[in-house]
Copies of this chain bind each other. A is one copy, B any other.
């Protein structure tokens, strides 16, 4: 293996060695226009001989395309607010599709208090398209997304929708999922189903509430506001609701709890255990996400499985269609099915 300064080898050297013009080298490598087979081979041979690798920066510049998909995600180290499983699965899904289409992933951490100038990423040409994870319905975010839309930049939201505005979206069917949970509980004879929801700035929370209400109505159970609690999707927030909920379990006004994610369900479960109330015994419990934790805890937590990986794949695919103009409806709202996973707590 001989050593050689790699950076000095450009199209020019290949052209010289192959005895053709630089344009021909370019055409061969990009497979554009008609060309003589013999020339093609000579160029490829020369390129291989020299170990030529096209300069991606020059390519990007000349093509006016970065070839990058931006992935915007919340910056939450040490804060176990979101399921890390959630992100890594979605990210893997995005990565799989992106790679297949020749795109790279540019990771962008959104900082809580920072201006969310997503459009700038496009204006600088750093990214050709982007996927927004963990989007929250707050004013700065809405402004940032509106600017993206106004600029005609292709982007896609995962797990969040906005009622005010139409955006390309990939989401899971949390309404149906939540209905399935409540139905399941009702089928098991529970009729006093409490609901521990997440913050309102996530459309997920609203969806789950809607599903919860719909299923209650379907079962002829009146909705009661005092059975609805709000946490922030963290385990701690679930834990902290234990005392209040314990009281209601004891006085008979709650016989089941549906928590909007596993983390809160687990926190609640632990809190209630400290108060001598066992899930699956003194009350039924169902979480949401089918996270690792739901399988680890005992009794094993009933939950709802969400196809995060597929959502990531779909988001990337839809985005790239959009960027290519292949997507018939650029504001398509994809909704993937979820599935109930009954286990020991219900």
A interface residues with partner B (beta carbon < 8 Å) = 1, 3, 6-7, 53-58, 60-61, 64, 66, 68, 71, 75-78, 80, 84-85, 87-89, 91-93, 95-96, 99, 104-109, 120, 123-126, 150-151, 235, 266, 270, 273, 292-293, 296-298, 309
The 6 closest A-B pairs by CB, nearest first: A77-B92, A56-B124, A105-B107, A84-B88, A61-B61, A53-B123
Chain B residue at smallest Cβ distance from A76 = B92
> Which of A54, A84, A96, A296 has the most B CB atoms < 10 Å from its CB?
A296
- 20 A-B pairs with CB atoms under 8 Å apart are A1-B150, A3-B150, A53-B124, A56-B124, A56-B125, A57-B57, A57-B60, A58-B61, A60-B61, A68-B106, A77-B92, A77-B93, A78-B309, A84-B85, A84-B87, A88-B88, A107-B107, A273-B298, A293-B296, A297-B297
Chain B residues near A68 (CB, 8 Å)? 106
**Docked CA distance A152–B56 (Å):** 19
Chain B residue at smallest Cβ distance from A117 = B53
Chain B residue at smallest Cβ distance from A67 = B126
Chain B residues near A60 (CB, 8 Å)? 57, 60-61
Given A96-B109, A106-B106, A107-B107, 7 additional A-B pairs, CB 8 A: A55-B125, A57-B57, A57-B125, A75-B95, A77-B309, A105-B107, A292-B292
| Pick from B61, B71, B296: contact of A57, CB under 8 Å | B61
Chain B residues near A150 (CB, 8 Å)? 1, 3
**Docked CA distance A54–B293 (Å):** 46
Chain B residues near A54 (CB, 8 Å)? 124
> Which of A3, A56, A150 has the most B CB atoms < 10 Å from its CB?
A56
**Docked CA distance A309–B79 (Å):** 11
Chain B residues near A76 (CB, 8 Å)? 92
Chain B residues near A7 (CB, 8 Å)? 123
**Docked CA distance A54–B121 (Å):** 11
**Docked CA distance A77–B307 (Å):** 11
Chain B residues near A120 (CB, 8 Å)? 53
Judging by beta carbons under 8 Å apart, are A104 and B104 in contact?
Answer: no
Chain B residues near A85 (CB, 8 Å)? 84
**Docked CA distance A61–B66 (Å):** 11
| Pick from B107, B124, B270: contact of A95, CB under 8 Å | B107
Chain B residues near A1 (CB, 8 Å)? 150
> Which of A3, A77, A150, A235 has the most B CB atoms < 10 Å from its CB?
A77
Chain B residues near A89 (CB, 8 Å)? 77-78, 84
